[in-house]
Structure 1
């Protein structure tokens, strides 16, 4: 489990494969604190450490990315040179600073607007129709692994929705949100409670 509070940025330096990708990601962690088999959320995707190396402050870890993960996340996200938001798995007793995040991406959204809002940036994101019913004003959502609050939402005629949120200066500096651009795609994970609601409604037909 994760909280959506990003602790570092990482960069994919090596990436090989198509249907199944093996990637190496550089990070400022201490490799001695990264356990083999540990889970690290990479821009919202829970991945397992299969190798590691480097030194404290200049480490790297390797992950395998399955076809299912590739299909559900932003196209091209696993190419060399991509900057990722990183968060190690939550430990028992850690502060839950964001909200409960599983690291299982539900779908892909598209940034449709960016504008200043005081010192912050207001971001508009289009979400697909299958996720729209589970995104609520003042509810939590994970965008590229970042725990954020939905400020408002506008349902669209085609069943999709547009929702807005604010990126404060600190978040823009410590995550890749500071580099977001209109037209860019992002990984979305709905709140875990909404995920179970979605399943229950599906069973009801």
Structure 2
């Protein structure tokens, strides 16, 4: 499990394989002794398994394998050398629960349809950015105003919803510690809907199937 609070921005340094299985090496500021073989790491949303770890400079390089399902349903298949990715290591018992509960199981890909700067008078911390995104039709119903959503591994609050479109606001700090400063209209991002919304919808569906 994760929280959607990004703790490092890594960089892809190597990609090998094909559409069935791809090995991706990511450079990170994480200490190598803090990543065990087999550890789960959220990489811009998808939960991937560390299959190798080695020291590199002040941090490390770790490799993950992405199978066909991940390559088909996420943006991982688009990653190339130099791609920057939001990273978060899995929760441990006793960790502070910030953000919201995130599984790292990406539901689909959302597209950014607009980005606008939101400024405040005499704001010494800089401008925030509002992103409007379009969700896949199958998952639009799970996104609610003031609810939570995970986009490229980042826990965000939904500001508004209109059909399949919804908006989120990123403050200057969030922009500076994630890959969101690079995002523009037309970009695609990994979407994971709120876990509670998913189960609530399934429960409602199951009740409709139950005999009266």
Change in Cα spacing, 1:75 to 1:35, as seen in structure 2 (3 Å) is: closer
Cα offset for 1:17?
1.1
Secondary structure of residue in 1 paired with 2:190: strand
- Name the CA distance, whole Å, in 2 between partners of 1:201 and 1:74: 31
Partner of 2:16: 16
Secondary structure of residue in 2 paired with 1:68: helix
Counterpart check, 1:37 vs 2:32: no
User: Superposed, which structure 2 residues align to 1:17-166 within 5 Å?
Assistant: 17-18=17-18, 19-55=20-56, 57-74=58-75, 76-118=77-119, 119-155=127-163, 161-166=164-169
Q: TM-score, normalised by structure 2?
A: 0.90
Change in Cα spacing, 1:95 to 1:56, as seen in structure 2 (3 Å) is: farther
Once the two structures are superposed, residues 76-121 of structure 1 have per-residue CA deviations (whole angstroms, 9 ceiling, x without a partner) of: 4332221100000011100111000000000100000101112200
Secondary structure of residue in 2 paired with 1:151: strand
Cα offset for 1:202?
4.7
Aligned residues of 1:30 and 1:55 also touching (Cα < 8 A): no
Number of aligned residues: 200
Gap regions ≥5 residues in structure 2: 120-126
Residue 192 of structure 2 is aligned with which of 189, 193, 197? Answer: 189
Q: TM-score, normalised by structure 1?
A: 0.93
- Name the CA distance, whole Å, in 2 between partners of 1:74 and 1:26: 18
Cα offset for 1:201?
4.5
- Name the CA distance, whole Å, in 2 between partners of 1:168 and 1:134: 24
- Name the CA distance, whole Å, in 2 between partners of 1:29 and 1:75: 21
Cα offset for 1:21?
0.5
Cα offset for 1:199?
3.0
Structure ID, larger Rg: 2
Partner of 1:7: 7
Once the two structures are superposed, residues 157-195 of structure 1 have per-residue CA deviations (whole angstroms, 9 ceiling, x without a partner) of: xxxx10011011011110000100100000000000112
- Name the CA distance, whole Å, in 1 between partners of 2:152 and 2:205: 26
CA-based RMSD of the aligned residues comes to 1.4
